[in-house]
Amino acid sequence: MEDEKKTGVEHLEAKETHLSDIEAGTHGATKYKANTQMDDAARLLAEAGHVEYSLDEMKHVLRRIDFYVCLPMCITYLIQQMDKSSVSYAAVFELQKETGLHGSQYSWLSSVVYCAQLVCQPISAYALIVFPVKYWVIFNMTAWSICTICTTAAHNFATLLVCRMLLGAFEATIMPSFVLITQMWWLRREQSYRTVAYQIANSFAAIIGPLMSYGIGKAVQNSGTIKEYQGIFLFIGSVSLAMVPVVYWLLPNSPTTAKFLRNGNDRLIAIDRLRENNTGTKTSTFKWDQFWETLRDPKTYMWMGFGFSTFNTILMQIPTGFIGIFGLLFSIWLTNRIKMRWPIIAVIVLFPIAGAVALTQVNHSKPGELMACYYVAYFFTIIQPLLISWSNLNAAGTTKRVVTTAMMFGALTIGNIVGPQVYLAVEAPYYHTGLYVDIGCWCVEFILVVTMGFHLRRLNRKQEARRVAMGLPADIKDISLMSHNEAEAYKVELAALLANAGFDQNHFNELAYDDLTDFNNPWFMYVQ
């Protein structure tokens, strides 16, 4: 018996040595000394040893995470959208006339927001790594709220432009911050629903904002103290600032310090369950090796292509929120059902292509047919949240994740700047140039989605070959994409598979908290 046990240990040690050898040659990369920079999550798990918990205990922790993390993200995203849209609300109450705007100056009040966001993406990416994410979000939320309030005093194009530019600079970090927060708290299957949750909150801003602005405009009308447009900036900015303490109280920094995780076991559950993602939580060191790997990774530029091609176009801004909300919920449910993203996104991209092509052909004297085309084309609003969610799932390593997100949103802001410019006023009401550009971008996006699906499939095969070379079974499945009940059942099956290969279950996803990139972690599985 002792001889058999000794043989098993030697066999395991040999496999671990082989793992180091495999990692040294894969993707032309090496396994970096990530263990010297392990985050607090890895330390807590190491101190606790094996963590035992039931499915009900895990679901209890997940409900608390949803309340204390997802809810403040929804609040923040709704507030951000209202602050950004405040200039369009004010325009209804003669902003242009009162401030002497003329020509394209009003349009630049929207474009400058995205220009500032583009410039600030590198700063945001670095800050998200070196600063606690909660305090970075709170700082920016406070700052953009003050900017909105200060817009009350703007009386000409120059002062409005400065206020809007600063607003864009402080808002630039929110979506990248939320992507990082989502990766820090939820399993990959769960992340899609939480991303959709704050995207839907964004849609509610389009309902609440105009109603609020209408009420404020009427309330200050003929008051003799401030103009209606000033009242809108003052009130929306004040509401935004008033929500800062609420978000501060709710939103935690990380699973390792969250106060709502009342006891040590809750905290360990919140951390341990994320092992299945193989992405860890967050380190506070900017790693240049991960930065250069991000630039070498073809996926990075494909995500950027997705970002650019989902720009907001003037003609497509029609109030069809129900299409967006229903489409998002159904598509997220379906992608999690089949555990693949690219086929669903590829099919959805065909809808705006068809709608836009129809718009170039339909006679404008037939409003019913035009409206039907608009409704079909409006499915384009579903694409961006799905792509953001998909991107979240396919990069590991704190620096690589943050830089990938920053580059994707950099491309998105470029699209938001360029998009309105291709809808030429001289072509009204047909806007053929804008429609053809849209169609071209969506066709490119369709090609990129299909290409990405096959590329990720190829990468998964390479990852499987690495695991087989380590002596592991070939058919290990991605638990992070399973439902909770499916995952519990599969863990029993997995334990037997690992035992037959000479491993115990503790070695499954053993590198999850080493802050390795997806290239360097053989346990990482790409979501197609």
Consecutive sets of 10 residues in the chain, 528 residues long: mean pLDDT of each?
38 41 40 43 72 85 92 92 85 83 80 86 84 92 94 90 92 87 86 82 77 80 78 91 95 87 82 75 67 73 58 40 69 78 87 85 74 78 80 79 81 76 73 84 89 90 86 80 80 79 71 75 84
Under a CB-based contact definition with an 8 Å cutoff, are residues 272 and 28 in contact?
A: no
**CA distance linking residue 423 with residue 316, whole number of Å:** 11
pTM value is: 0.73
CA distance linking residue 316 with residue 203, whole number of Å: 15
Angle (CA) 315 174 240, round 5°? 85
Helices 174-185 and 398-418 cross at an angle (nearest 10°) of 140
What does the block give as tokens for 242? 């008033």
Instruction: For CATH 1.20.1250.20, list the domain ranges present in the chain.
Output: 54-281, 285-528
Q: Which two tokens stand for residue 68?
A: 């204390």
What percent helix, strand, coil does the chain show, rounded to 5?
75, 0, 25
From the CB of residue 343, how many other CB atoms can be counted at a distance below 10 Å? 15
On whether the CB atoms of residues 304 and 441 are closer than 8 A, the answer is no
Cα separation, 337 vs 148, whole angstroms: 42
What superfamily does domain 54-281 belong to in CATH? MFS general substrate transporter like domains (1.20.1250.20)
Angstrom distance (rounded) from CA 367 to CA 363:
8
Class of domain 285-528: mainly alpha
Tally Cβ neighbours within 10 Å of residue 204: 16
Instruction: Determine the pLDDT at residue 250.
Output: 93
Cβ atoms 367, 173 nearer than 8 A: no
- In angstroms, the CA 42 to CA 266 distance is 15
Question: How many Cα atoms occupy the beta-carbon half-sphere of 258 within 13 Å?
Answer: 30
At position 364, the amino acid (one-letter code) is H
pLDDT in the model for residue 75: 93
The secondary structure of 115-178, three-state, reads HHHHHHHHHHHHHHHHCCHHHHHHHHHHHHHHHHHHHHHCCCHHHHHHHHHHHHHHHCCHHHHH
